[in-house]
């Protein structure tokens, strides 16, 4: 099976497994886990912040940022298609008692004027506008990269208006590799940022939250409260270190494979590629299924019969994601499967 469902399906490489087995271990809850501490220092330096915290998932990283900053009854400004709205099980409301003010905009992006317009007047009737979340790359938007100038304008406006600005950077390194910039091109302008190791970077588990030392100290307490403190987690942290050392530059291969895949899909009758092959921004390819081919679920079921896994992102929208475990030759093999599924 060629698995395009997500870049979360990658398996540790042999070299990553060796790094995991060789990692010195302690007890992170008791404060003496050397490999976790090394990862946290590495991430803080990479993202240009004072401190970082290793956590089990990207969802937890985002929710720790929210819980550490917001009070019950506060409001978070974010794009209507944000991960924190659609894929984190209502956690902002359940864990932090927060509302979300959703913004519209093409492919997961919005502008500074929208942020300014969304901020509430300080009045006892209103929730307090407390936080701005910017997702980069944007998943539902198609793996979209924020243009740096637009990002700077939005983030600066948020901070000028007193908002805590957070990057949901699960796939931030994809954006950085695609643009050829360091993470600090984005992270220097925000108050906190999450980054995921178990997506395109290929580690089996884990994310990190970075920010000020004060923020991370508070987030560490909530990590314990949320059940996210792990003991000999250096086994997993070692995989993340290996990923940062060896798997960042190769994200460009995933982007190239995604563009090749998009070129194949664009030529198949009944499938409507979103955008053009040349404009696929990172490692995600989205396309619509003609109604005569059934639903996205029907199409994905037929794909599976031909040895290819994909995922429906709506009634007639399909997503395919390239990653560490998808080779260039896999793209060629998938082409026949996609054509066969569209012919049924």
Q: Indicate the DSSP class of residue 81.
A: T
Indicate whether 228 and 94 sit together in one domain. yes
Residues in the chain: 344
Domain of residue 312, residue span: 250-343
The number of angstroms, rounded, from the C-alpha of 147 to the middle of its chain's C-alpha atoms is 17
Provide the 3-class DSSP secondary structure of residue 163: coil
Shortest CA distance to 242 belongs to which of 48, 62, 14, 9? Answer: 14
Establish if 2 belongs to a structural domain: no
| Cis, peptide link before residue 62, omega less than 30° from 0 | no
Cβ contacts of 94 within 8 Å, gap of 6 or more = none
Residue 210: predicted pLDDT: 98
Establish if 60 belongs to a structural domain: yes
Indicate whether 50 and 86 sit together in one domain. yes
Indicate whether 138 and 119 sit together in one domain. yes
Residue 207: predicted pLDDT: 98
In the chain, alpha helices (H): 14-22, 34-47, 58-69, 83-86, 91-96, 112-118, 148-160, 172-179, 184-187, 213-225, 234-246, 251-266, 296-305, 328-343
Q: Give the domain-ending residue among 214, 246, 278.
A: 246
322, 4 contact by CB (below 8 A): yes
d(C-alpha 291, C-alpha 193), whole Å: 40
Indicate whether 104 and 242 sit together in one domain. yes
Q: Which residue ranges of the chain lie beneath pLDDT 70?
A: none
Establish if 181 belongs to a structural domain: yes
Residue 52: predicted pLDDT: 98
d(C-alpha 266, C-alpha 89), whole Å: 34
Q: Give the domain-ending residue among 230, 246, 262.
A: 246
Residue 142: predicted pLDDT: 95
Establish if 1 belongs to a structural domain: no
Q: Give the domain-ending residue among 246, 272, 305.
A: 246
Question: What CATH number should be reported for the domain holding residue 66?
Answer: 3.40.640.10
Indicate whether 168 and 214 sit together in one domain. yes
Identify the bridge partners of residue 318 per DSSP, sorted by sequence position.
287, 312
CB atoms within 10 A of CB 160: 11
Establish if 300 belongs to a structural domain: yes
Residue 306: predicted pLDDT: 95
Indicate whether 209 and 324 sit together in one domain. no
Question: What CATH number should be reported for the domain holding residue 337?
Answer: 3.90.1150.10
Indicate whether 301 and 229 sit together in one domain. no
155, 143 contact by CB (below 8 A): no
Residue 164: predicted pLDDT: 98
Indicate whether 242 and 255 sit together in one domain. no
Indicate whether 211 and 233 sit together in one domain. yes
Indicate whether 83 and 207 sit together in one domain. yes
CB atoms within 10 A of CB 296: 21
d(C-alpha 278, C-alpha 281), whole Å: 8
Q: Report residue 109 as tokens.
A: 């992006």
pTM: 0.96
Establish if 47 belongs to a structural domain: yes
What is the edge-to-edge ordering of all strands in the sheet holding 284-289? Answer: 271-273, 284-289, 317-321, 311-312
Shortest CA distance to 64 belongs to which of 240, 224, 234? Answer: 224
Indicate whether 143 and 261 sit together in one domain. no
255, 285 contact by CB (below 8 A): no
d(C-alpha 318, C-alpha 299), whole Å: 9
Indicate whether 80 and 95 sit together in one domain. yes
């Amino acid at each position: 099976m060629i698995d395009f469902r997500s870049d979360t399906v990658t398996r540790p490489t042999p070299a990553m497994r060796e790094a995991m087995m060789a990692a010195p271990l302690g007890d992170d809850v008791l404060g003496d886990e050397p490999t976790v501490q090394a990862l946290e220092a590495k991430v803080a330096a990479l993202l240009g912040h004072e401190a970082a915290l290793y956590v089990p998932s990207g969802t937890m990283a985002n929710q720790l940022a929210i819980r550490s900053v917001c009070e019950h009854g506060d409001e978070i400004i974010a794009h209507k298609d944000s991960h924190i709205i659609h894929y984190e099980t209502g956690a902002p409301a359940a864990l932090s008692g927060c509302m979300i003010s959703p913004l519209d905009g093409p492919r997961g992006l919005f502008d500074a004027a929208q942020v300014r317009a969304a901020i509430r007047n300080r009045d006892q009737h209103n929730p307090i506008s407390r936080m701005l979340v910017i997702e980069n790359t944007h998943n539902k938007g198609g793996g979209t990269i924020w243009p740096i100038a637009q990002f700077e304008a939005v983030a600066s406006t948020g901070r000028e208006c007193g908002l805590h600005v957070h990057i949901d950077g699960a796939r931030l390194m994809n954006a950085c590799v695609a643009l050829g910039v360091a993470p600090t091109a984005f992270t220097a302008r925000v108050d906190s940022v999450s980054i995921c190791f178990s997506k395109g970077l290929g580690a089996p588990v884990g994310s990190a939250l970075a920010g000020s030392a004060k923020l991370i100290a508070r987030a560490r307490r909530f990590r314990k409260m949320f059940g996210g403190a792990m003991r000999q987690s250096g086994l997993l942290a070692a995989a993340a270190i290996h990923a940062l050392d060896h798997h960042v530059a190769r994200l460009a291969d995933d982007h190239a494979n995604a563009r090749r895949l998009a070129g194949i899909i664009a030529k198949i009758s009944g499938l409507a590629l979103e955008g053009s092959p040349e404009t696929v921004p990172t490692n995600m390819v989205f396309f619509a299924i003609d109604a005569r081919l059934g639903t996205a679920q029907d199409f994905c079921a037929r794909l599976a019969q031909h040895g290819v896994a994909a995922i429906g992102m709506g009634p007639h929208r399909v997503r395919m994601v390239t990653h560490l475990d998808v080779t260039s030759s896999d793209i060629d093999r998938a082409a026949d499967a996609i054509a066969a599924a569209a012919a049924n």
